[in-house]
Structure 1
Amino acid sequence: MERQISFTPPDLAQPEAPPGPVRRRHVFYLPGYDPEASKRYRALFVRELSRYAKRFDLPRRRTSPARAEGTVQSWTVEAGREGWTTDTTYEVLLWDDLVRRDFARPMLLSMLLLTAGILHALVTGKLFRLYGLNWKYGNVILYPFVMTLLLVGLGAALGVALGQGLAWAAGGTLPGLAAVGLGALGAVGLLVAATPLLDRIFLRQLITDWVFNWQHSNGWRPDYEARLAAFADHVAARLADTEADEVMIVGHSSGALTAVELTARVLARGPGRTLSLLTLGAGLPLVAINPRARRLRAEIASLVASDRVVWADYQAPQDWMNFPGFNPVQDLALPPVPRVANPLIRSAKFRELLEPDVYARISYRPFRMHFQFLMSNDLPGEYDFFALTLGPQTLRERVLAPALIPARAGVAAEPASAHREI
């Protein structure tokens, strides 16, 4: 049975005055666990905004060249049509250098860490809880572990078989100790030889992602914690001098967790302006349900009770790599909160946003469907990434009363082939 997705918190803060159109917005975007984030998200943004502008008639659209300063990649966007124009400063906060460092770890070591993480998840009951939240994501989690066992077993069998064949050819039998050694060498050799293929089927990505989340949930990633502190310093400095009507922190996939942690730490620094927090296809339970992730649950609880943030979380049942129906208020053992002001939870309803042939083609491609959160719709809908981040409505207003953007009158929709691969 599908879990109920839509949720409006009973104590959602009411605006002091009717919101006016957003003329200036500052967006901080947190990418997920991606070794190519510094290259991928600028290109994806520009390409998909171009598609969006043609499909939904966005006549005013101007994007500046990207500028990089340390771990921040930024550009500006002017977007609008008759009646409104919004100027947006878009900053991508990068931590892909940490991910690349994980990717440089020997595959065999990553697989050993994965095995330790899976066993820990079994002992603590975490894996069963994740399966209960979304069996599809549970399969995504187990896929690299099962592949690891298969590859190790196949490599060991090949090594032993080769040794037995050589021993038989020499007129003898293979001693037990030699069989063990050849089996181990065969397993290692197969893993090394298969590494390029494993990268093509995203196995290294899934292994290192799981290991990172396991390490982070146990408090074993000081490099990530240091980067979060640097991000909080950067955002606080921007808040001190911004004239934006809305400041929005956006996170997709694993980056949704980073966005939640960052927002909580910025707000904890003291009084200040209200922030908008937008999480897309989030994987919060991967870390938050670990019994040792007490700090994260405390940060989530602080956002749940806060009037200084409007947190909107979009989920998609069609996306294997999120948790549709997950509600941190109901599904996490949070510290007691005096009120429930967040998050607003809605379904992205991808089936209603995509042309039927496109939907059919990508339904069984988990990574492609997962990235739909950041891509142009085919059809008008309540979930609209570019209306959320570049449009005139505040996040709160957009979620509660979205002004749907009609398709461009008199212009045929782009063919399905216009959808590029991810």
Structure 2
Amino acid sequence: MGAFGRMRNSLSFTPPDLQEARLEPVRRRIVFYIPGYDPEARTRYRLLFVREWTRYTKRFGGGRREISRAELSQDGLVQSWTVSAPEQGDGAETRYDVLLWDDIVARDFARSRFLSVALLIVGTLQTILSGLLFRFYRLSWKYGNVILYPFVMVILLAALSVAIAALVHAHLGDWFGHSLGLPLWVSLPLGVIAGLVWIKAIEAFLNRVFFWQLLNDWVFNWQHGQGRRPDYERRLDAFAEHILSSVAARDEAGHSTDEVMIVGHSSGGLTAAEVAARVLARDTSIGTSGANLSLATLGSGLPLVAMQPAAARLRGEIARLVTDRRIVWCDFHAPQDWMNFPGFNPLHDLKLRLCGQPVANPLVRSARFRDLLCPETYRRVRFRPFRMHFQFLLANERPGAYDFFAMTLGPRRLREQVLAPDAYSEPEPAVPL
């Protein structure tokens, strides 16, 4: 097997200097969930949460729990709801805040398509010439293909457009005896227009194959790594302030919180890590007493940005997370997911300056989707990259060490959930799967 096919790092890693265990159960939890690069986040994740929780309870039980209506903050940046503690059994009362940046994504989608394609070409060529693309391939050949996909599609679409333009020009101009004999200044522009119009005509197809989604996502990650997204940086600061103010408000109101959990999926995994670093930097007391501070990154694309040479500030933030014992960070990945980096470990794959400090993070674990899904389901979805990528947020079909709802609604802190997955009694399916 070639270098691109080998998994260089173990799929599991436990840092040597973890925070002390907190064995008492979680009664109240705040989850700050950060979506990935999704222009429809404010309409997607509440519905997804309710649907999958319903499926989860049908399969595993868990007691009746009330989910409140979603409320949108005045500034439009936070969508919130609460989940009550179960009437029977163990579980936490959970406040669930979705931190929104879909307006930034929507502005990316609204810009000129020509500009988006130009940015894609520049960013991809730079990544290839610098050798960074080959490092991505070494980490995950599947994600390497996802990165190259929009670039290859642009080449194919451009070639077909030129062919259509030439064909139209040939049949309208005076190249052949059977042509219409229109002058060059008429036939050539008409050929160019035809070469562009057909791309607009297949817009629905391009959206169905996620062409523009993956193109804009890659451009965003490249721009962020180059330090060219001040709008996103401002949003990170706003998210950090919201987390700190929410925790402080609950403390002042006497609603003690046992665990504050920051969760990010896909590109939101990187966002969650950046926000957590800002929270720790702004409040030196958080995580030292009272509520545990936890960070869960699910199917993260963090290397896409952190491995860019210009992303020195981000690597500094990751280094602080790696050595800060006030937070427990667990990075979940899955080899079956095309859009993450199984085996990636910032300690091994990033040049971090730890200055001799002990390593406290991250816990690295595989979600092992093959074990969580029934064989029939797995065969049906294994070649659907986006469906597999979202399995991190979906209800299990089988009990397993990775369990999104046990993590966010259950009675155990993230650290204990990850370190001792066999210590809890796995739920038996409530109905046949």
Name the TM-score class by shorter chain: over 0.9
Are the structure 2 counterparts of residues 283 and 404 from structure 1 closer, same or farther at C-alpha, using a change threshold of 3 Å?
farther
What is aligned with 2:209?
Answer: 201
- Pick the aligned partner of 1:219 from 223, 227, 245: 227
**Does the alignment pair 1:406 with 2:402?**
no
Question: Given the two structures, how large is their TM-score scaled by the length of structure 2?
Answer: 0.91
> Whole-Å Cα distance in 2 between the matches of residues 147 and 50 of structure 1?
39
- SS of the equivalent of 2:268 reads helix
Query: Partner of 2:249 in structure 1?
Result: 241
Pair 1:179–1:322, CA change in 2 (3 A)? farther
Q: Given the alignment of the two structures, is residue 150 of structure 1 paired with residue 156 of structure 2, yes or no?
A: yes
Q: Secondary structure at the match of 2:392?
A: helix
Contact 2:143-2:340 within 8 A present in 1 as well? yes
SS of alignment partner, residue 263 of structure 2: strand
Tell me how far apart the structure 1 counterparts of residues 189 and 159 of structure 2 sit (CA, whole Å).
14
Partners in 1 of 2:425 and 2:371 — Cα distance? 13
Q: Look up the SS of the partner of 1:90 in the other structure.
A: strand
Residue type at the aligned position of 1:346: R
Q: Does 1:371 align with 2:390?
A: yes
Q: Distance in 1 between matches of 2:57 and 2:324?
A: 36
Structure 2: runs of 5 or more not aligned = 1-5, 251-255, 288-292
Seq. identity, %: 56
Instruction: Work out whether residues 382 and 404 of structure 1, in 8 Å CA contact, stay in contact via their aligned partners in 2.
Output: no
Higher deviation after alignment, 249-258 or 236-245:
236-245
Matching residue of 2:360: 341
Q: CA deviation at 1:270?
A: 3.1
**Residue 20 (structure 2) pairs with residue 14 (structure 1):** yes
Indicate conservation of the 8 Å contact 2:62/2:89, yes or no: no
Instruction: Report the equivalent of 1:330.
Output: 348
Match for residue 310 of structure 1?
Answer: 328
Matched position secondary structure for 2:118: helix
Q: 2 CA distance for matches of 1:376 and 1:83?
A: 19
- What's the CA shift for 1:346? 0.5
The aligned runs of 1:128-277 (5 Å cut-off) are 128-167=134-173, 168=176, 169-170=178-179, 184-242=192-250, 243-274=256-287, 275-277=293-295
- 1:126 Cα shift? 1.4
| Aligned residue number for residue 319 of structure 2 | 301
> Displacement of 1:315 after TM fit?
0.6
Using structure 1 for the length normalisation, give the TM-score. 0.93
1:152 and 1:56 mapped to 2: Cα distance?
Answer: 51
Residue correspondences, number: 409
User: How far apart are residue 188 of structure 1 and its match?
Assistant: 2.5
Q: Amino acid of the residue matched to residue 29 of structure 2?
A: R
Q: Residue 84 of structure 1 aligns to a residue in which SS?
A: coil
CA contact (8 A) 2:29 2:92 kept: yes
Is 1:99 aligned to residue 118 of structure 2?
Answer: no
Query: Shift of the alpha carbon at 1:172?
Result: 6.4
Identify the residue that residue 284 of structure 1 maps to in structure 2: 302
1:382 corresponds in structure 2 to: 401
Query: Relative to 1, partners in 2 of residues 1:50 and 1:79: Cα closer, same or farther, differing over 3 Å?
Result: farther
Matched AA of 2:49: F
1:152–1:191 CA contact under 8 A, matched in 2? no
Contact 1:156 1:186 in 2 (8 A): no
Cα distance in structure 1, aligned partners of 2:210 and 2:48? 19
Q: Distance in 2 between matches of 1:27 and 1:303?
A: 19
Partner Cα distance (1:322, 1:253) in 2 = 7
Give structure 1 regions of 4+ aligned residues with deviation exceeding 4 angstroms.
170-175, 177-184
- Please say if residues 58 and 81 of structure 1, whose CA atoms lie closer than 8 Å, have aligned partners that are also in contact: no
Which is further off, 328-337 or 178-187? 178-187
Distance 1:265 1:98 in 2: 20
After TM superposition, give the deviation of residue 80 of structure 1 in Å. 3.1
What's the RMSD between the two structures over aligned residues?
Answer: 1.8
Whether the 8 Å CA contact 2:63–2:89 is kept in 1: the answer is: no
